[in-house]
Structure 1
Amino acid sequence: MTELSDEARERLADVVALQPTKNGELQERWGMDSGSDVHSYLESELKRFYYRDENSLIRATDEAAQLVDADPGVEDGEDGRVVRVPRLQVGILEVLAGIDEEPQSVVSVLHDVQAAGYDADVDAVRSGLRSLESKGVVTSIRKTVPTFRLAVDRADLTVEERTD
């Protein structure tokens, strides 16, 4: 395995947390002069740990996330946890029962998401809840059927819609 410097490891954690991201966002985060500098750094120091998706957005490999022990699209910010998720998951987080409220079934979340104006079906909501659970912002409480609620206080969570 390739040894990474402390700086490279920290920057790789940024790529994991910010994904999908662009050169400009990393340029700002890393204090670089240009997007070209970011590209050069990625190619010289982190080449095997990132790739560009079909929209040319920068993403980390699964190996990168494991190496830096970070959750893709999740970072701890000054005001709590920041998660970058697709539009439907933004809607789920808007309507989902809070940390101290009675948990909701998938169907209940579906109805609330649809009432809030999001286009969704039960499979998409179930998948979204599982994805948010894997990011540590939703918890599943087992009853007769799985029910869900936030795992963190809504006030400590910033949700950003991904653009992919």
Structure 2
Amino acid sequence: MTLSEEAEERLADIVALQPTKNKDLQKRWGLESGSEVHQYLENELKEYYYRDENSLIRATPEAAELVGVDPGLVDEGDGPRAIRVPLLQKQIVEVAPDHDAESKSVVAILHAIRDAFDTDPDVEDVRSGLRSLEQKGVIEIEYRTVPTFRLAIERDSLSVELLD
């Protein structure tokens, strides 16, 4: 199957962002809805992606080879060791409490990002970024009065690369 230039670029996004979900791809691709993402995937990239047991979108090994992009997650069996993420998720990893520290709320992490990077992300974007990082195994959630977050692994054992 020959892919268009747009399809190859979008497939590269899937490889780099995996595991991901419709909402993340919708935002990245500038589409109107998750349904539009699903239609695109089914019509253009059906051979190159699948949904895992948590319904997250992942690229096939052939997809990564075809587009020549390293997967967004390198897992060495005991948790991810290298991830490629958008800027906000990179910032989240930098300010999130260590794996052995007390977890912090979304709002506390939002304030830490504001203080550390002189930026003002939306709280929903921070929450979504935390959930995406949790799906990658980098962040863990502790449920107290409100959900709180911290790194799931040692900070020094993780390499975080910025996704274009």
Asked if Structure 1 and Structure 2 have the same fold, meaning a TM-score greater than 0.5 normalized by the shorter chain, the answer is yes
Band of TM-score, shorter chain = 0.5 to 0.7
Cα distance per residue 1:99-153 (max 9 Å; x no partner): 0101000000000011112331110100000000000000000000000000010
Give % identity: 45
Larger Rg over CA atoms = 1
The alignment partner of 1:147 has SS state of strand
Alignment CA distance shift 1:131-1:113 (3 Å):
same
Contact 2:82 2:160 in 1 (8 A): yes
How many correspondences in the alignment?
108
* TM-score where L is the length of structure 1: 0.58
Alignment CA distance shift 1:123-1:103 (3 Å):
same
Deviation of the 1:62 alpha carbon:
3.2
Alignment-derived partner of residue 119 in structure 1: 120
Alignment-derived partner of residue 142 in structure 2: 141
Work out the CA distance in 2 between the residues paired with 1:162 and 1:99. 24
Aligned residue among 65, 72, 82 for 2:58: 65
Amino acid at match of 1:95: V
What is the CA RMSD across the aligned residues, in angstroms?
A: 2.7
User: Structure 1, unaligned stretches of length 5 or more?
Assistant: 1-14, 21-45, 50-60
User: Structure 2, unaligned stretches of length 5 or more?
Assistant: 1-11, 18-44, 52-56, 62-70
* TM-score where L is the length of structure 2: 0.58
Runs of 4+ aligned structure 1 residues displaced above 4 Å come to: 15-18
Alignment-derived partner of residue 6 in structure 2: none
Deviation of the 1:65 alpha carbon:
2.7
